[in-house]
Amino acid sequence: MKIAILSRNKKLYSTRRLVEACEMRGHEPMVVDVLHSYMNIASSKPEVHVKGESLPVFDAIIPRIGASVTFYGTAVLRQFEMMGSFPLNESVAISRSRDKLRSLQLLSRRGVGMPNTGFAHDPDDIQDLIKMAGGTPLVIKLLEGTQGIGVVLAETKKAAESVIEAFMGLKANIMVQEYIKEAGGADIRCFVVGDKVVAAIKRQAQPGEFRSNLHRGGAASLIRITPTERATAVKAAKIMGLNVAGVDLLRSERGPLVMEVNSSPGLEGIETATGKDVARMIVEFIEKNAKPHRTRTRGRG
């Protein structure tokens, strides 16, 4: 099969591993930089061009679209969908998962467990917002933050008020969330492919830190997850419409709580900690499922 990997950088671990896995299984991979691609929207025969050349019609597309290029990246992916290529994750599902508020609203509507969460932009009653998340201690997050930056633990009401006021001053969208103390500074990343969790790791924060992000010095290790955790991760990915997803869970007294569903989960941490060939599993999923024009929306969403 002709498979395009949408990625800005051929040298990234995940991109390299996906190229390798495609080649190992006898496919023809091509790395396409979305920001250098351009396309004709008006034509009845949609095309994508790079450096003056028209790209072939790929059998499948593996989107690895970074958060900062979501808007243009999903437009390029949508163009490939209109050309009939099978997207590993659909453009609509990626856009949906990139919007944290929309994602949590969708998950909560379907009864998926999550920490009590309030969203706000310019709340005129901060006390009430704090109450909404169940009082202090609580976690305040900038909606646009990644890698744990902009995630603050406020232990007292006074601290919570000042952090919320500071974020309000920045005119940022914020999330105010119940602090899951019993998670003990750890979260679980479940790597979902199709209807299975194919690998799972626990990320443990450094002593004295509650954020377990690897970028914040967290350590990853192999973990056995429970059937409920497995089912929760698969359900969350399905609700988002993602075939491949990294579902982040917190272990709480009331069961697994979903924090985030990531549509371009990295392979390095999970493959290194588990020794599993996740890239191969992704390519095998494509082999089983790629059919021309097999999207739910055909680029219409």
Which positions touch ligand ADP (CB under 6 A)? 115, 139, 141, 145-148, 151, 177-180, 183, 187, 205, 210-213, 248, 250, 259-260
Separation of alpha carbons 14 and 7, rounded Å:
9
| Nearest-angstrom CA–CA distance, 118 and 175 | 6
CB of residue 177 vs ligand ADP: minimum separation in angstroms?
A: 4
Instruction: Tell me the closest approach of the beta carbon of residue 279 to ligand ADP, in angstroms.
Output: 23
Would you say 24 or 170 has its CB closer to ligand ADP? 170
Q: With respect to ligand ADP, which residue has the nearer C-beta, 64 or 98?
A: 98
Q: How far is the CB of 174 from ligand ADP (least distance, A)?
A: 12
What is the helix (H) or strand (E) element at residue 23, kind and residue range? helix 13-24
**Smallest separation (angstroms) from ligand ADP to the CB of 212:** 4
Nearer to ligand ADP by Cβ, of 96 and 141: the residue is 141
Give the bridge partners for 31, in sequence order. 5
Whichever of 205 and 247 has its CB closer to ligand ADP, that residue is: 205
Q: From CA 91, how far away is CA 88, in angstroms rounded?
A: 9
Question: Do 239 and 258 form a contact (C-beta atoms < 8 A)?
Answer: no
- In whole angstroms, the minimum distance from the beta carbon of 215 to ligand ADP comes to 8
Q: For residue 76, what are the contacts with CB-CB under 8 A and spacing of at least 6? A: 6, 32, 34, 37, 39, 48
Q: Count CA atoms within 13 Å of residue 248 on its CB side.
A: 23
Using an 8 Å Cβ cutoff, are 156 and 188 in contact?
Answer: no
Identity of the residue, 3 or 259, whose beta carbon is nearer to ligand ADP in the bound complex: 259
Please state the closest distance from residue 117 (CB atom) to ligand ADP, in A.
Answer: 8
Q: Looking at beta carbons only, is 81 or 187 nearer to ligand ADP?
A: 187
Three-state helix/strand/coil letters over 203-236: EECCCCCCCCCHHHCCEEEECCCCHHHHHHHHHH
